[in-house]
Amino acid sequence: MSSTVNIEVIKEVFETMKYTEKENLNFHLQSHQNSDEEINAFLKQFEKNDTWNNLANGDREKLINKLASKIEKDIDDFASIGDTEGSSFTYTKQKSLPFLIESLRYHANFCELVDKKQEDFVVSILSNANSVSSLGYVLGPALAAGYRILFLPTCKLQSIVKVIEKTVTDLGFPEGTISVLPLNGDIELILKSAGVINLFNTTEMKLPNKKVMAVFPYLTPVVVLENADLDSVCECLINATWKNQLLFELTAKEVFVQDTVYERFVRKLKEKISNDTETIPKIYDNTIRNLISKANKNGIETFPPRQGDISSGKTVFIGGRLFDSITPSAPCVSVVSFRNIDEAVSLANNNMQGLGASLWTENIGLANYVAEKLDVSNVWINCFSIYAPDVAFTPKKFSGKGYFGGIQSFNELRYKKDSISKKDDMIMSKDADKLFSTAIFSAKKSYQSWSSSSRQTRTKVLLTAIRYIQNNKNKFISENVSVEWLDEWKTFFYQYIESHSNFPVSSSIKGYHLSVSYSPLGVLVSENYNKMLLIASILEGNTLILFKHELCQIFYEELAKQLPAGVLNIVPYFKGVASLASKNPMVDGYINEFDIDDIPLSHKFATVGTTLPDIYSKVTNLKNIWSNIRMK
């Protein structure tokens, strides 16, 4: 069977398709309803096609590399399809598709690490805002970990996804490895059947208790200091905001400019926009009209001034910030001034987005200072939206959940749930909620001093506690704890010390220097009693709250006494504890569950595997700093 991609047929079909103005999943569902019977029939057939899960690791590796080579060989054809998605042919060919190819090849290297068959499949939901490169964060790690993938294409990417579906079949992938189901039925039936849900840029859905990896778009800040190259900033904004020149969807939305160069920057931006004749789609015209109306009411200047049709221009709001439920996807940007550096940091951090921020300056000292203060996972200095398949990132705040890129992305999918204390075995007590709140306050109070202490000090304190365990084994064996179980604490402690590192990575993108920093996550609540997890949490400077368990209650209470007050807190479990933790601003992480008892999707909840890199990544904050100037 020929594997040639019929580009003309594909373009003819998809260029005639219409897309909704608003990224609203419910709209699609109401427009075209398949019956539950039809969806169940599809899922039943799909679940039978589990050959990919059963392939040998080496065979999966070969096929993934084969797919990467096929896309590379026919890159012009694939770029032609990507060209219909709103990005230029040249950018799709030179940036987006190479990223997808590199992601496939990078993650293929980890196939041999899979030691357990995956019974589940991944459901991936993409939006109109996504680029072709987003597929790399789905296909690479999922295929390497042994998952089949079901795409629900609510977006323009469905054309290239359909072509990839046909391509893998032609290349000899087992039937059903990659499938595409038009999203025109009850999505809850589909999500309940999946093992992992992968979301990009869509938040309007109720999620079941599943493993979720998600990235949501919010207002992305750009900070421009007085010594920045203003021409480069303007060109970057135009490319990122209105030309889809992004590897990953995180459009520039808010620009904060130092007041000493504010007027000059605004003039330059207006001039460059006026000279740029490229038009933008009409898809967000109504959104822009609403924002213009809001700007007029608040005395915010709109450029260019609009009266009638607005589809051919790019909209800038000057002198004020505008917020809207779908502003992140709309082709507009706001520009406001700031007086000093701390004000700029405060403005940039004052939103729900914690995925990335762009900083423009030629001063290395200022770059270091501001990058450290920005509360995001990625800081781009004199650049915007730079990613590499081998460099992990994780959304912070309300930008999503999970790790993308790097081996961490692979670990998110191949993890095994470790021994979790069953709720039926947990000790319940009166006023447990009050005890829990008291423990949170205690953990938060001690966090600052514990996290700011030296690593040497934390190591010495924990080692003293481990030695106490070794010297008092008989005290704990009486509560059905074995000698082997107690000895593992010492073994795991030294394993972590010997193997610990900050897992350094270097930039694979020419012209950019990458610095990766790690810091403690904060106050953690854990239902997971994995010894390495507890050791890592404490050594990295976190304070920890655990629930009592009848089999080893005395042990953990004694362990807590050997540590500074508030570092390890033991409390009774009670129904509703996850909900209380999710709402408490002093809790920074809840380990071993992602979505519990209908709690809305929260960045605080995380599952963790048994591998050291996965454990380390779940108890620390990761920040990537990309720069075209050498950082100190």
Query: Is residue 598 scored above 50 in pLDDT?
Result: no
pLDDT band at 27 (very low <50, low <70, confident <90, very high): very low
Residue 301 pLDDT: 92
To the nearest 10°, the Cα dihedral for 525, 356, 346, 583? -30
Q: Determine the topology of domain 419-620 in CATH.
A: Aldehyde Dehydrogenase; Chain A, domain 1 (3.40.605)
Q: What is the CATH number of domain 220-381?
A: 3.40.309.10
Residue 539 pLDDT: 95
Across 71-85, 119-133, 237-251, least confident range: 237-251
Per residue in 349-399, pLDDT (tens digit) is 988 888 899 999 999 899 999 999 999 999 999 998 888 898 999 888 878
The pair phi, psi for residue 344, each rounded to 5°, is: -60, -45
Query: Is residue 254 scored above 60 in pLDDT?
Result: yes
Residue 323 pLDDT: 67
Residue 602 pLDDT: 62
Mean pLDDT on 563-592: 88
Q: Which CATH class is domain 7-215?
A: alpha beta
Give the integer Cα–Cα distance in Å for 288 and 308: 12
Looking at per-residue pLDDT, the higher value among 283 and 482 belongs to 482
Per residue in 197-239, pLDDT (tens digit) is 888 765 555 666 677 888 876 778 999 999 999 999 999 998 8
Give the integer Cα–Cα distance in Å for 632 and 629: 10
Looking at per-residue pLDDT, the higher value among 477 and 319 belongs to 319
Across 173-187, 203-217, 243-257, 538-552, least confident range: 203-217
Closest to 97 in 3D by CA, of 145, 151, 167, 144: 167
DSSP E strands in 384-512: the ranges are: 400-401
Query: Is residue 14 scored above 80 in pLDDT?
Result: no
Across 181-190, 294-303, 335-344, 516-525, least confident range: 181-190
Give the integer Cα–Cα distance in Å for 464 and 466: 5
Closest to 370 in 3D by CA, of 387, 357, 384: 357
Mean pLDDT on 83-99: 76
Give the integer Cα–Cα distance in Å for 421 and 107: 33
Where do you find CATH 3.40.605.10 in the chain?
A: 7-215, 419-620
Query: Is residue 423 scored above 60 in pLDDT?
Result: no
Q: Is 631 exposed, middle or buried (0-12, 13-18, 19+ CB in 10 A)?
A: middle
Per residue in 509-527, pLDDT (tens digit) is 777 888 888 899 999 999 8
Q: In what order do the strands lie in the sheet with 400-401?
A: 178-180, 148-153, 121-126, 196-200, 211-215, 400-401
Roughly how many angstroms between the first and final C-alpha of the chain, as a whole number? 56
Mean pLDDT on 105-113: 93
Count of beta carbons in the 10 Å neighbourhood of residue 125:
25
Query: Is residue 60 scored above 80 in pLDDT?
Result: yes
pLDDT band at 433 (very low <50, low <70, confident <90, very high): confident
> Helices (DSSP H) in 375-419: which residue ranges?
406-414
Residue 30 pLDDT: 35
CA angle 69, 75, 77 (to 5 degrees): 125
Give the integer Cα–Cα distance in Å for 527 and 626: 35
Q: In what order do the strands lie in the sheet with 589-591?
A: 568-571, 543-547, 523-526, 589-591, 605-606
Per residue in 162-200, pLDDT (tens digit) is 999 999 999 999 988 998 887 665 677 788 888 888 887
Residue 522 pLDDT: 95
By percentage, how much of the chain surpasses pLDDT 90? Answer: 37
Residue 23 pLDDT: 33
Residue 491 pLDDT: 93
Residue 194 pLDDT: 83
Is residue 398 helix, strand or coil? coil
Q: Length of the chain, please?
A: 632
Query: Is residue 414 scored above 90 in pLDDT?
Result: no
Query: Is residue 311 scored above 60 in pLDDT?
Result: no
Q: Which residues contact 441 (CB under 8 A, 6 or more apart)?
A: 586
Residue 53 pLDDT: 84
Across 8-22, 356-370, 421-435, least confident range: 8-22
Mean pLDDT on 113-134: 82
Record the pTM: 0.84
Residues 142/122, Cβ–Cβ less than 8 Å: yes
Helix, strand, coil fractions of the chain, as percent rounded to 5: 45, 15, 40
Residue 226 pLDDT: 94
Give the integer Cα–Cα distance in Å for 387 and 232: 19
Across 8-22, 60-74, 369-383, 463-477, least confident range: 8-22
Mean pLDDT on 596-618: 72
Where do you find CATH 3.40.309.10 in the chain?
A: 220-381
Residue 502 pLDDT: 53
Query: Is residue 63 scored above 90 in pLDDT?
Result: yes
DSSP E strands in 225-354: the ranges are: 252-258, 301-303, 315-318, 332-338
Give the integer Cα–Cα distance in Å for 107 and 95: 18
Q: What is the DSSP letter of 549?
A: B
Residue 217 pLDDT: 67
